[in-house]
Amino acid sequence: MAPAQAAAAATGAVVGLPNFADLVDQVGPAVVNIRTLERPKSGRMGAQGQIGEEEMQEFLRRFFGGSLPQPGGKAVPRGRRQTPSEEPVPRGVGSGFILSADGYVMTNAHVIDGADEVLVTLTDKREFKARVLGADASTDVAVLKIDGTDLPFLTLGSSDKIRVGEWVIAIGSPFNLENTVTAGIISAKQRDTGEYLALIQSDVAVNPGNSGGPLINMRGEVIGINSQIATLSGGYNGISFAIPIDEAVRVSEQIKKSGKVTRGRMGVKIAEVSKEVAESLGLKSAQGALVSQVESASPADKAGVKPGDIILKFNGTTIKRSSDLPRLVGSTPLDAKLTITLWRQGKQIELPISVADLDGEKQVKAAGKARSKDDAQADKAAAHLLGLRVSDLGAEQKKELRLAAGVLVDAVDGPAADAGLEEGDVLLQVNNTEIRDSRQFHAVLAKLDGKKPVLLLVRRGEQSQFIPVRPAVK
C-alpha cells in the first residue's frame, strides 16, 4: 500500500474526490423547505417580493429568503391598501431539518422571525403547518413542531470533533429551489462572529434560502446549521458560516423544555488582551479577557471585579480569548456558585461569584470635565514626560462614574496624543498602580524610568482599556 493510501486508511480520510450520491439519498428526505406567511397589516402598501432597506441590510448579513415570489402566490397590486381580513401572503423562504420521527424541526431563528404562519414541506411534497416552540436570537436557533409520525430524521454528530479540510455538504432551498445539494470543505472550526458562538466556516456554496439547512459530514451526521454568509452582494462568495450543532442542541433542549433560553451573565464588558498589555502587566502570554466595564449591582460588581482586571480562568477553565468568557458564562446554570481567577496589579487572585440572568445592561455615564488646581511644577513635568495635564475628579463626577479614584485628563499632547489618549479620559492606573488623585499621579510619574513604556489604564465613556505610552526623552 502506498504511503498516502496508508495514511488515509489510518485516519479514515477519503482518497480522491468523493461521490455524494448515496449520502444525499440517505439524508435528503429529512431536509425540509420552510415558507413563512404574514398577515397584511392595515395601511401597509406594496407588492409581494419587494424588499425594504431594513430587510436588505438583513439580507446582506444573513440568509434572507423573502425576495422571490412563491409558486402560486397572489401578488398584491401596487398601491392597494391591504386589510387585516385578507389572507396571509408569502413572506420568506428558508430551510430546516427534522430532528425526530415525531416531528421536531430545527432551523434558524431569523427564518421564522416575524412570521404569522410557518409551513414545512417535505421532499415527498407533504406540507405541514408548524408550531414555533421557541427561538433564540443570540444563537439564531429555532425549534418547530409538526404533527407527523414515522418521519425521516437526521442523526446529529459532534461539532467538537470536526477537522479543518474534511468534506461536508449542505442541503437546502436557495432561492426556493428545494433540496439543492452543494459540497465543499470545512475552512475553519472557530470563527468569532458572534457574542456566544464560534461558528464553523466552510466554502460550501450557500445562498439566500439555505438558512436553517444542515451542514452534514461524510457519515451523514449534522455538524452545523447554515446561518450566515460573508458577502457584499447577497450571494455566494466562498465563505459561509454554520452554527455548531453541539451548541444548537443545548439551545433546542431548553426551548423544548420551557419555550425559551436562559443564559447566565456576569455583568461585565470585555476586550482582548494585546501582546503589549500582557508584557507590561507581567503576563506570560496574551490571553484572558480584559474587563473594560462592570455593571452596577451585577454578579461581577458584587464579587469585587474591577475595570482593568484580566479574567484568566472561569471556574477553572482557562480563558484563551476574550470570546471564550461569555460562552462559558452563558452555558453556566443560573445562581451557580463558582470562582474566577483574575490578574490584578501584578498578582493572581481568586474571587467567588454567582451567575445570574441579567435582563439588561446598565450604562455608565460619561465623565465630566471639571478641573481643580494641581501643583504647577509637577504638572509641567508630567506634560513633558507623557504629554498629559490632569486634574482631580469632583465628588459628583466620581459618583456618576462609580469611581473611588482616578484623575481627569485636561489636555493631551506629544506621546499621549500619539498613543490615542483624549481630553476627557479618566486615568485609573499607571503601571499597575491605582491612581487616587493628581498629586499621587505626579509622584508616580516622578519615579518612572523614562526609557520604558508606561502602561495607563484609561476610562473613556463606558469603557476602560490599557494604553501603552512611550515617554518623551527626559
Question: Is 370 part of any domain?
Answer: no
Based on the domain organization, do 278 and 253 belong to the same domain? no
The answer to whether residues 442 and 428 touch, using CB atoms and an 8 Å cutoff, is: no
Distance separating the N- and C-terminal Cα atoms of the chain? 71
Q: What does the pLDDT average to over 231-248?
A: 80
The answer to whether residue 124 scores a pLDDT higher than 60 is yes
Of 320, 354, 388, at which residue does a domain stop? 354
pLDDT of residue 235: 62
Cell 425540509 belongs to residue: 32
Query: Between 409 and 98, whose confidence is greater?
Result: 98
What pLDDT is recorded for position 81? 45
Percent of the chain with pLDDT over 70: 78
Lowest mean pLDDT among 229-233, 296-300, 386-390: 229-233
Q: Does position 52 have pLDDT exceeding 70, yes or no?
A: no
List, by residue number, the catalytic residues.
Answer: 110, 140, 211
State the residue range of the domain holding 339. 268-354
Cβ proximity of 175 and 207 under 8 Å: yes
Same domain, yes or no: 68 and 138: yes
The reply to whether 391 and 428 lie within a common domain is yes
Q: What is the mean pLDDT of residues 383-390?
A: 75
pLDDT band at 11 (very low <50, low <70, confident <90, very high): low
Q: Residue 374's pLDDT is what?
A: 41
**What is the average pLDDT across 233-258?**
85
Contact 255, 261 (CB under 8 A): yes
Q: Where does a domain end: 202, 228, 261? A: 261
* Residue 114: inside a domain: yes
Q: Are 13 and 45 in contact (CB under 8 A)?
A: no
In a domain, 364, yes or no: no
More confident residue, 241 or 192: 241
Are 252 and 287 part of one and the same domain?
Answer: no
pLDDT above 80 for 227? yes
> Which range (44-48, 232-236, 323-327, 411-415) has the least confidence?
44-48
Bridge-partner residues for 270, per DSSP?
291
Same domain, 170 and 205: yes
Look-up: residue for cell 443570540?
A: 138
Average of pLDDT values for 415-438? Answer: 85
Q: Which is it for strands 221-229 and 155-156: parallel, antiparallel or unpaired? A: parallel
3-state secondary structure the chain: CCHHHHHHHHHCCCCCCCCCHHHHHHHHHHEEEEEEEECCCCCCCCCCCCCCHHHHHHHHHECCCCCCCCCCCCCCCCCCCCCCCCCCEEEEEEEEEECCCCCEEEECHHHHCCCCEEEEECCCCCEEEEEEEEEECCCCEEEEECCCCCCCCCEECCHHHCCCCCEEEEEECHHHCCCEEEEEEEEEEEEECCCCCEEEEECCCCCCCCCCCEEEECCCEEEEEEEEECCCCCCCCCCEEEEEHHHHHHHHHHHHHHCCCCCCECCEEEEECCHHHHHHHCCCCCCCEEEEEECCCCHHHHHCCCCCCEEEEECCEECCCCCHHHHHHHCCCCCCEEEEEEEECCEEEEEEEECECCCCCCCCCCCCCCCCCCCHHHHHHHHHHCCEEEEECCHHHHHHHCCCCCEEEEEECHHHHHHCCCCCCEEEEECCEECCCHHHHHHHHHCCCCCCCEEEEEEECCEEEEEEECCCCC
What is the radius of gyration, based on Cα positions, of the chain?
Answer: 28
pLDDT given for residue 225 in this prediction = 96
What's 137's domain CATH number?
A: 2.40.10.120
- Alpha-carbon separation of residue 446 from 119, 136, 294, 407, 426 (angstroms): 72, 54, 31, 16, 19
Lowest mean pLDDT among 40-49, 126-135, 219-228, 312-321: 40-49
Residue 360 lies in a domain: no
Residue 49 lies in a domain: yes
CB-facing half-sphere around the CA of 12: CA atoms within 13 A: 7
Q: Is residue 409 domain-shared with residue 429, that is, in the same domain?
A: yes
- Alpha-carbon distance of 144 to 129, in angstroms, equals 10
Between 63-67, 150-154, 319-323, 416-420, the lowest mean confidence (pLDDT) is in 63-67
Same domain, residue pair 86 and 158:
yes
What is the pLDDT averaged over residues 84-110?
A: 87
For 249, residues 6+ apart whose C-beta sits below 8 A from its C-beta are 156
Asked whether the predicted pLDDT for residue 261 surpasses 80, the reply is yes
162-201 pLDDT, tens digit each: 999 999 999 999 888 888 999 999 999 878 765 567 899 9
pLDDT (0 to 100) of residue 31 = 97
| Average pLDDT value for the chain | 79
Question: Looking at the structure, do residues 310 and 165 belong to the same domain, yes or no?
Answer: no
C-alpha angle 14-18-21 in degrees, rounded to nearest 5 = 135
Asked, for residue 474, whether it belongs to a domain, the answer is no
Domain co-membership, 169 together with 216: yes
Lowest mean pLDDT among 57-71, 194-208, 454-468: 57-71
Q: What is the mean pLDDT of residues 233-259?
A: 85
Among 37-46, 144-153, 306-315, 387-396, the range scoring the smallest mean pLDDT is 37-46
pLDDT in tens, 293-340: 888 888 898 899 998 899 999 999 999 888 888 888 887 887 778 999
Interatomic CA distance for residues 91 and 146, integer angstroms? 20
Check residue 381 and give its pLDDT.
54
Give the pLDDT confidence score for residue 21 in this predicted structure: 94
CA dist 93 and 59 (Å) reads: 12
Q: Are strands 388-392 and 155-156 parallel, antiparallel or unpaired?
A: unpaired
Number of domains composing the chain: 3
- State pTM to two decimals: 0.61
Same domain, 161 and 239: yes
| Residue 262 pLDDT level (bands cut at 50, 70, 90) | confident
Co-location of 150 and 272 in the same domain: no
CATH number at residue 282: 2.30.42.10
Domain boundary among 231, 261, 291: 261
Q: Model confidence at 103, in pLDDT bands (50, 70, 90)?
A: very high
- Structural domain contains residue 368: no
Residues 233 and 337 in one domain: no
The mean pLDDT value for 124-138 works out to 93
> Which residues face 169 on adjacent strands?
183, 216
2 domain-assigned: no
Most confident of 240-244, 277-281, 388-392: 240-244
Predicted pLDDT of residue 133: 95
Query: Any residues with CB less than 8 A from the CB of 268 and at least 6 apart, and which?
Result: 291, 292, 293, 294, 295, 298, 300, 305, 311
Confidence label for 248 from pLDDT (cuts 50, 70 and 90): very high
Q: Between 261 and 26, name the one with better pLDDT.
A: 26
